Amino acid sequence: MPTPLHRPDVEDGGPRWGVVRGARLTVRGVVRRYGGIEAVGGVDLVAPGGRITALIGPNGAGKSTLFDCLAGTVRPDAGRVLLGGRDVTALAAHRRVRLGLARTFQQIAVFPTLSVADNVRVGAEQRRGRVAARTVLERTERALGLFGLSGLADEPAGVQPTGVLRLVELARALAGGPRVLLLDEPAAGLDAAQTGRLVAVLRGLAERGMALLLVEHDAELVAELADSVYAMAQGRVVAAGPTAAVLADARVAEAWGGRP
């Protein structure tokens, strides 16, 4: 089971991760259509370094499609995506990873026949062309420790419960040393202790300058964690700003199933 909660940026008296520089994700007028349906309709969004930005909205609002456009698995029909000031709109997903963009998925995506450690190592190796093999190992071990997975390192991923697999996926994304981290419902399937660890880890990463953008349906978690919020409905942003103000917006409550 995961180890007790600890500060993510300090272990054994030393720093865990260096300061992240040049972290910023900018979205300008992104449009994505499927046939005659506009799934994303001209979205503008900024996820700055050192902040946690949340993307909320009902099912079908266009959040996952927007994430696919940001990650590079889907090409937008219009608009631009900038990573740290560099236009990456035309770049494939693997090239964005090498530039420091990582993501997790709403549906857990792990390699069930690999060990927990090997799943995490895959994330570290995605940027191997820029780091030494020793660094890959160090990042893997650090990411395992960060999420309390060291004791499960040699266990097959396929036999782990949902909450552990969610942490494995998060550790894999972090092991690559991203500047921008896209998180699609990262708390889904986590118990209270695991959610507490997640909150501490994400706050610690933001404190070191990383830009974090997460899709989340839990209003209480959004209120606790996010510095700012973008609310989507029918493919468009209907409200954006500081978390408390957006969650109190009547348009958001109406679109988000009446939740504050």
Residue 15 has what pLDDT?
A: 35
Residue 207 has what pLDDT?
A: 93
Residue 8 has what pLDDT?
A: 40
Measure the CA angle with vertex 183, ends 82 and 8; round to 5°: 105
Please provide the DSSP assignment of the chain as one string. Answer: -PPPP--TTEETTEESSPPP-S-EEEEEEEEEEETTEEEEEEEEEEEETT-EEEEE--TTSSHHHHHHHHHTSS--SEEEEEETTEE-TTS-HHHHHHTTEEE--SS----TTSBHHHHHHHHHHTTGGGS-HHHHHHHHHHHHHHTT-GGGTTSBGGGS-HHHHHHHHHHHHHHT--SEEEEESTTTT--HHHHHHHHHHHHHHHHTT-EEEEE---HHHHHHH-SEEEEEETTEEEEEEEHHHHHT-HHHHHHTTT--
d(CA 121, CA 134) in angstroms, rounded, equals: 12
Q: Which amino acid is at 48?
A: P
Low-confidence ranges of the chain (pLDDT < 50): 1-16, 128, 260
Q: What are the pLDDT digits (tens) for 181-211?
A: 999 999 998 999 999 989 999 999 999 999 9
Residue 89 has what pLDDT?
A: 97
Residue 177 has what pLDDT?
A: 87
Q: Do residues 177 and 127 lie in contact, with contact meaning Cβ atoms separated by under 8 Å?
A: yes
Token pair belonging to 127 = 């940027």
Q: What are the pLDDT digits (tens) for 100-121?
A: 999 998 888 889 999 999 999 9
Residue 3 has what pLDDT?
A: 35
- Looking at the DSSP bridge assignments, the partners of residue 43 are 30
Q: Which amino acid is at 32?
A: R
Burial class (CB in 10 A: 0-12, 13-18, 19+), 134: exposed
List CB contacts of 14: < 8 A, sequence separation 6 or more: none
d(CA 177, CA 115) in angstroms, rounded, equals: 20
pTM score of the predicted model: 0.87
d(CA 24, CA 14) in angstroms, rounded, equals: 26
CA distances from 185 to 29, 78, 84, 165, 188 (A): 24, 26, 24, 13, 6
